């Protein structure tokens, strides 16, 4: 399993929020490249970039994304946040994204998801943001009225790069992961799982690997020092 530092972008800065709430920002790094350089120094090679402003229709962090993706060759970036058109997917891939993460429209528009997955096979990651067991959309503000198993079953035929499943109820709280949720995802889907939400300890990472997750996105615990980046990198980078 691979540990993947999160680089969440807001107003051009790298931030960490609790539960996705703009009102509860706990970490701010003015220059996202400084965050990237910090994690690279420990040996991390895989990164997850999210444009929070685009996800909520509050703006764009395209300049910051471009700077991250062109900083150093050989790194792997999954990039998402407000990706709701084929043009946007293509643009991010052309900028250098290894894979593009699609969430809201992917959940709400099955035909579009099929078209974009077939046009870019092996380059699309579907984000399923889960609160309890219900999938939520639009920056975690809207209910899809669908449970995670139903969504996963609908994704099985598609040529996806993988899944990004976030336990919204755990996000940013540093209280551990929702292991039963992630275990359900692995049992239900053939697609590789990157797990997100609540990763706090090395034991959390080992447990996620134990249930079959292929990656784990880490945010708050790394940025606050709750997790020792050097130790994580030695075992999971």
Write the pLDDT tens digit of every residue in 43-87: 999 999 999 999 888 899 999 999 999 999 999 999 999 999 999
pTM value is: 0.93
Task: Give the domain extent around 48.
Answer: 2-236
User: Is 106:82 a contact under the CB 8 Å cutoff?
Assistant: no
For 116, the enclosing helix (H) or strand (E) is helix 110-119
Domain of residue 95, CATH code:
3.20.20.70
pLDDT digits (tens, 9 = 90+) for 149-158: 999 999 999 9
Catalytic residue numbers, as ranges = 8, 129
Give the residue among 206, 160, 165, 203 at the shortest CA–CA distance from 182.
Answer: 165
User: Is 87:95 a contact under the CB 8 Å cutoff?
Assistant: no
Domain count within the chain: 1
β-strands 134-137, 124-131 pairing:
antiparallel
Dihedral Cα 90, 167, 130, 179, nearest 10 deg: 120
pLDDT digits (tens, 9 = 90+) for 80-103: 999 999 999 999 999 999 999 999
């Amino acid at each position: 399993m691979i540990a993947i530092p999160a680089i969440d972008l807001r107003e051009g800065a790298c931030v960490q929020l609790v539960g996705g709430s703009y009102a509860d920002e706990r970490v701010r790094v003015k220059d996202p490249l400084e965050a990237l350089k910090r994690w690279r120094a420990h040996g991390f090679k895989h990164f997850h970039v999210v444009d929070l402003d685009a996800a909520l229709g509050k703006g764009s962090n395209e300049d910051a994304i471009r700077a991250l993706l062109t900083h150093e060759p050989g790194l792997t970036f999954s990039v998402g946040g407000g990706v709701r058109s084929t043009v946007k997917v293509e643009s991010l891939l052309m900028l250098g994204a290894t894979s593009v993460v699609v969430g809201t429209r992917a959940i709400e528009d099955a035909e579009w998801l099929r078209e974009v997955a077939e046009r870019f096979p092996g380059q699309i990651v579907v984000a399923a943001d889960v609160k309890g067991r219900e999938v939520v959309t639009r920056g975690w503000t809207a209910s899809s009225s669908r449970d995670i198993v139903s969504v996963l079953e609908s994704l099985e035929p598609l040529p996806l790069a993988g899944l990004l499943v976030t336990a919204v109820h755990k996000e940013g709280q540093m209280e551990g992961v929702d292991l039963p949720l992630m275990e359900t995802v692995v049992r239900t889907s053939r697609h590789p799982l990157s797990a997100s939400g609540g990763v706090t300890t090395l034991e959390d990472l080992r447990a996620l690997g134990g249930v079959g997750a292929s990656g784990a996105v880490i945010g708050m615990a790394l940025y606050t020092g709750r997790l020792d980046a050097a130790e994580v990198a030695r075992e999971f980078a």
